[in-house]
Amino acid sequence: MAGTPPSPTASVAAVVAEKERLTAAEAERVKHQEARDTALAAAVEAEREAAEAVKELDAIDARQRTALKHAAEARKTVAAHKDDAPDSDGVMAILGIQLNAISVVNLVMSIGIAVEFCVHITHAFMVGAL
């Protein structure tokens, strides 16, 4: 038996088994390649989204820098003109009224009466009495 050639059925079966093994290996390779392609596409998309996010953050940063620059300029302008005003403490200072208990009571009463008047006018308008 050692010197007898293999039967044709055995060699055909071996060839078929080898083809099936190669086909399975090829299918596995294709499957891995598709998984790599999918992962690469996801990575490219994530990189594109990250680049867009960086652009948006840069734009926000630029707007913040501009806003801070304008705020600093406004502060400088206010500080420069504060000394120009003769008295920027309000109407009581302009009229020479000192802040004490009597003036505070008068202020509170005046504001209360003004608010009540506005509420009455608004209510009359809403009801249609005017």
Higher pLDDT, 49 or 85: 49
- 94 and 81, same domain (yes or no): no
Q: What range defines the domain where residue 81 resides? A: 1-85
Higher pLDDT, 43 or 8: 43
Q: Which residues fall within 8 angstroms of residue 130, CB to CB, at 6 or more apart?
A: 124
Given a cut of 60, is residue 15 above it in pLDDT?
yes
- 30 and 41, same domain (yes or no): yes
- 67 and 42, same domain (yes or no): yes
- 51 and 101, same domain (yes or no): no
Q: Total structural domains in the chain?
A: 2
Where b means 16+ CB within 10 Å and e means fewer, 31-62 reads: eeeeeeeeeeeeeeeeeeeeeeeeeeeeeeee
- pLDDT, tens only, 52-110: 999 999 999 999 999 999 998 888 887 776 665 555 567 888 788 888 999 999 999 99
- 71 and 31, same domain (yes or no): yes
- 96 and 77, same domain (yes or no): no
- 102 and 64, same domain (yes or no): no
- 79 and 96, same domain (yes or no): no
